[in-house]
Copies of this chain bind each other. A is one copy, B any other.
Amino acid sequence: MLVGELGEEALLERMRRVFAPAAAEVLIGIGDDAAVTLPLPGKELWTTDFLLEGVHFKRTWLTPAELGRKCLAVNLSDLAAMGAAPFYAMVSMACPAETSVDYIDDICQGVADLAGREKVTIIGGDTARSPGPLIIGIAVCGAIADGQAVLRSGARPGDRIMISGYLGSAAAGLWFFERGLSIDEFPELRRAFVYPEARLAAGALARRLGAASMTDVSDGLAGDLRHICNQSGTGARIDLRRLPVHQELKLAAHKFGLDVEELALQGGEDYELLITAPPEKCGAIIDEISRSAAIPVTEIGEILTQAEGILTVRSDGAECVMKRRGFDHFAASG
């Protein structure tokens, strides 16, 4: 059956069933004019992100469940980057009338599965017909019990710069998708783009262990590092030789002539955590996240003064001013 045949009311009812049950803090969930909740303990955190067909994804690239899951994951990643825990989400969807109801059910199930795993309650949303692209928008609210959000503005000269996981994998996955090439040989590059993990446990650990500043790498390392430097009033030096790159990216780069350094520095959507901390805190952050959250953390540089600028150390050891371009959805062709 198609969404256009089902109608908005029946579609909402289906979504309601997939998204139940609600947590105890939710007094009124989906179905009234607004949801009603108890205020969360500590401070509340808010973020919203949407995914647009033809800009962020094409339907052939991933299953509807992966699509729904990814939209929630990229929102949760923003909370992870503050060291916070998620509580509530609202899910909005606009789809062409000729979309199958099964497809929408699967999107919702993908959202619901990750929501269940991370104890997020879906408390509302909106639906409408789209005249063209499929659009999923999610808004989330989280909390930090002790009010210690890790901001982008906390970096200080002398801080070491660390990154969780691997860089450039999602951008390499996208490279395959955009060209319609088979990605079967590189499951990790596919996973990185299609199935990003919100580093909630790692973000909470980094916060507890004294991270000075933190953000998630959504626009690419270069762009997101620049956010930290701009908001902290600092410079930075990144050693390109240390950027953590997955073995599959090296293989794919070798086979297809990709620029590994460019993908790792400028590629978006890895949703890894970019963390800065004073040198004496770094050992514990690296060890604990690797051990408890089972994610490698790599030291890749240090925070400088603003006057020193934002620099990269190239493979030949030379220092250069970092190139400006991060991922820009308006500039991007994909």
A interface list, Cβ under 8 A from B: 3-4, 6-9, 11, 27-28, 31-50, 52-56, 78-79, 81-82, 84, 88, 90, 92, 94, 97, 123-133, 135, 137, 139, 141-142, 144, 149, 151-153, 214-216, 223, 231, 326, 328-332
Residues of chain B within 8 A of A43, CB atoms compared: 27, 36-39
Chain B proximity of A208: nearest CB distance (Å) = 17
The answer to whether B129 touches A132 (Cβ under 8 A) is no
Q: Which of B55, B78, B88 contacts A34 (CB 8 A)?
A: B78
Q: Given contacts A37-B46, A149-B36, is CB(A331)–CB(B4) below 8 Å?
A: yes
Distance, CA A127 to CA B40, complexed state (A): 27
Distance, CA A83 to CA B308, complexed state (A): 55
Residues of chain B within 8 A of A40, CB atoms compared: 39
Distance, CA A131 to CA B130, complexed state (A): 12
Please name the 9 residue pairs, one residue from A and one from B, whose CB atoms are nearest each other, closest first: A39-B39, A54-B131, A34-B47, A139-B139, A33-B81, A132-B132, A34-B45, A33-B78, A128-B329
Residue of B with least CB distance to A41: B39
The answer to whether B94 touches A135 (Cβ under 8 A) is yes
Residues of chain B within 8 A of A7, CB atoms compared: 328, 330-331
The answer to whether B44 touches A37 (Cβ under 8 A) is yes
Q: Which of B33, B44, B128, B137 contacts A215 (CB 8 A)?
A: B33
Q: Which of B37, B44, B129, B328 contacts A55 (CB 8 A)?
A: B129
**A-B pairs with beta carbons under 8 Å apart, 24 shown:** A4-B331, A8-B329, A9-B326, A11-B330, A32-B82, A33-B47, A33-B78, A33-B214, A34-B79, A36-B144, A36-B149, A37-B45, A46-B141, A47-B90, A47-B124, A50-B92, A55-B94, A94-B135, A126-B137, A128-B329, A128-B330, A131-B133, A137-B137, A141-B141
